[in-house]
Amino acid sequence: MKGDYNKMNNSNLHKSGYIIFIYFIMTQFVGIIGVQLLAKTVWYDIQGNQQQAIQQLLVHWELIGYSLTLLIIFLIYNKELMNDPRLSIKLSRNSFVWILIGFILVFLAQMVGSILDKSVFQLTAQSANTSSTVAAAAISPVALISIVLFAPLVEELVFRYAAINILIHKFNKTWSIIISSLFFSIMHFDFPFIFGYFLIGLVLATVYVRTNRLMVSFCVHASMNLIVVTLQIF
């Protein structure tokens, strides 16, 4: 796999850097502006059921925000999407085996991470991200499009493909997996729930590196989100 990365030129590395920067801007700054702009439309009953209106605003912006982010990523990675086998949507029999392995491991990682988070930080409440995600899906089923498809795809492109593209040029595969997983945990801004995200990141990054296919880690990530939300709602 290292050979595949060595073939990449500086242009690809720069693109990966741009992708990470754009993701940060879109999630931390543009979202605030986007929600405010949506709130000024006549589609939301802010004066009536304010809590539900705010939740709908957030759901709709997530859908818009992730769509815009994906569009930008696809435009930047237009050549890579056509030529890089790691971005191929074709899956081999081995890929399906790794999807199953990853699916099992990611839930084990989630359970161990939850135990560590609660033990180390004496937590009793649920993760804010998880709570808001479940609430969004319960109020508006359209949120599932973001939760199950768009968000996992964006995060895999950013934290696995782009981040590991850069890290593998400075570190070996093991350290690239660890650092990208730490980055994945920090960028969720769901402190102090850090162990869960870190261990989930380790599983997803390992699956990606072992299979050399982003589609495999995406399938694991999307399946995890779907199951978690479904179990919480029903």
Check if the beta carbon of residue 199 is closer than 8 Å to that of residue 215. Answer: no
Check if the beta carbon of residue 234 is closer than 8 Å to that of residue 156. Answer: no
Give me the pLDDT at residue 193, please: 85
Letter string b/e over residues 13-47, b meaning 16 or more CB atoms within 10 A of that residue's CB: eebbeebbebbeebbeebbeebbeebeeeeebeee
Q: Judge whether residue 8 has pLDDT over 90.
A: no
Q: Judge whether residue 48 has pLDDT over 70.
A: no
Letter string b/e over residues 139-166, b meaning 16 or more CB atoms within 10 A of that residue's CB: ebeebbbbbbbbbbbbbbbbbbbbbbbb
Write the pLDDT tens digit of every residue in 87-127.
999 999 999 999 999 999 999 999 999 899 888 888 766 77
Which pLDDT band, with edges at 50, 70 and 90, does 73 fall under?
A: very high
Q: Judge whether residue 178 has pLDDT over 70.
A: yes
Write the pLDDT tens digit of every residue in 11-35.
789 999 999 999 999 988 887 788 7
Give me the pLDDT at residue 191, please: 84
What is the Cα 114 distance to its own chain's centre? 18
Q: Judge whether residue 2 has pLDDT over 70.
A: no
Q: Judge whether residue 159 has pLDDT over 70.
A: yes
Global pTM reads 0.90
